[in-house]
Amino acid sequence: MEPDDPRIRALVTDVAGALRAELAAVAADIERVIVDAMPILEGDDAHALRAGIGDNVDAALHLLVEGSPSTAPTSAIADAQRFAQRGVPVAVLIRAYRVGQARFLDLCIDQLLRQSEGDHAEVQATRAMVAIASEYIDRVVEEVVTAYEESHDDWVRDRSAVLAMRIRAVLRGDAVDVAATERTLGYRFDRDHQALVLWVEDHEADAHVRIRQVVGAVTETLAGDRSALIVPQDESTMWAWLPLASSVTAGGELSVAVKSEPSVVVAAGEPLAGVDGFRRSHRQATSARAVALAAGPERAPITPFADVAAIAMLCADVESARAWVHETLGDLAVDSTRNEGLRETALVFLQTGGSYTATAEQLFLHRNTAQYRVRKAEEARSRPLREGRLDVELALLACRWLKGGVLQPAP
């Protein structure tokens, strides 16, 4: 009889209907068999499988009844992603599916036997063949996948080493074959590049995943089908270069991406063209990162080099910078909420050419309030803000970006 024979369809539908009526029990049975067969899956890993197993069983039973193909359930995809982030080998995931499939078929055959008459010789023979084939495939797939993973890991390590070597040669300014390097990296130099240094501080296993999500979100918006170049540096830090159209900066898009993944901290260079721009933008990004690290936990989520270029030079000697800031600003450099507001007003006042009106407009203050704050800032400094104006502005910028790195503790 063919699979579309009405009698076969009726039997299959009846079996699926009976199992669906006991879906929770069926899923629990399959989960137990999987965990018993695979001691490596215990605790959180076993618990994480539960939703995926139930949804997979439901999808399979629906397929038996409707006959229409189905996509993987969302929970099953989430399980796979979670296992990958926890470092569970893919062979374990595949074997879990093989064991689950064998148990599912066994339960289907049990139900079929309950609903049909006769000695069931054909059905029992089918059960035996399914069991033997499943055991064989289970064993062979595990060996084959393990061999694949070992070979793939070796290849990835070798390729990562080659990529890192080529990139460092470019960054050092070595004479390189540009065309050959582009082919190796899969990235072209004849465009504008904005370099990023991205990192997280929690050192969780999925750090690189979160960083790639941020880079991917920005690249998708700005670069279309052009891929960013991403290079891991350690378990929690990555370098990236965004391929940009001329005169485009990834400022707003980067802010949106980081807000969606707030654990990722970013230092950004300026968009610059060609091989030299590739190098210079990266140097800028690493300088901006030095500012972010010097700022400590209070740093901004994104540190653009354009905003901290002068401050970056101070990071070479933060202790000396702290002393200089104190000498320049006096008590205005003391770390307090009140002083923070005074410093911000003073900085805007200097940046707007000493205009109280422009300062008030930019900070959304009344003009008299802006004038009052400037006077209080000068009292804290014990000198007019315009005295040594360039030094004062640089010191105020250092306070804004380096925060506790250069501020004096409150008494």
Burial, 262: exposed, middle or buried (Cβ in 10 Å; 0-12, 13-18, 19+)? exposed
Which pLDDT does position 288 carry in this prediction? 93
Contacts of 263 (CB under 8 A, 6+ apart): 200, 201, 202, 210
The CA distances from residue 199 to 192, 207, 214, 244, in Å, are 23, 8, 11, 22
Per-residue buried b or exposed e for 336-347, using 16+ beta carbons within 10 Å of the residue's own CB: beebeebbbbbb
Amino acid occupying residue 73:
P
Which pLDDT does position 198 carry in this prediction? 94
Token pair, residue 90, equals 């893919």
Half-sphere exposure of 247 (CA within 13 A, CB side): 0
Phi and psi at residue 279, to the nearest 5°: -70, -50
Residue 50: alpha-carbon gap to chain centroid? 26
The predicted model scores a pTM of 0.60
Euclidean distance between CA atoms 81 and 388, whole angstroms: 57
Which pLDDT does position 131 carry in this prediction? 65
Euclidean distance between CA atoms 5 and 111, whole angstroms: 19
Which pLDDT does position 1 carry in this prediction? 40
- Domains of the chain listed by start with CATH number: 6-149 (no CATH), 192-300 (3.30.70.270), 312-405 (1.10.10.2840)
The pLDDT averaged over each successive group of 10 residues in the chain (411 residues) is 66 85 90 84 65 83 75 80 75 84 87 72 66 64 68 65 84 88 87 92 82 85 75 88 72 78 90 92 93 88 90 86 93 94 95 93 93 95 92 93 91 81
* Element housing 229 (H / E): strand 229-234
What residues are paired with 303 via a beta bridge? 267
